[in-house]
Amino acid sequence: MSVAVIYHCTICNESKKATNHWFAALQTENVLSFYKWEDARTLGILQDDATLHLCGEKHAQELLGRFLHSQPNKETPNV
């Protein structure tokens, strides 16, 4: 017997529907990687606890902005 998995957007908690254009993301300490939904399914990462589910490009951009603002400022060398 298979169990249906319901995915929710990490940003707005919207439930995944068949026609949505969703993305998945994996975040480590200083790396954020985005995947198209089907690519994430193929890689088998959709049900990973570390995977973030995003209901569209707008929320993928919002996640990227949050990630960039959370990174510590690093001194850039004078060139």
Sorted by where each begins, the domain ranges of the chain are 23-70
Per-residue CA distances from 60 to 68, 74, 78 (Å): 12, 24, 33
Q: How far apart are CA 51 and CA 10, in angstroms?
A: 9
Q: Within 1-79, where are the H helices?
A: 37-43, 57-70
Going by C-beta distance under 8 Å and a sequence separation of 6 or more, which residues neighbour residue 62?
11
pLDDT tens-digit profile of 5-42?
899 999 999 999 887 799 999 998 889 999 999 999 99
pLDDT tens-digit profile of 35-64?
999 999 999 999 999 999 999 999 999 999
Specify the pLDDT at position 64. Answer: 96
> What pTM, to 2 d.p., does this model score?
0.83
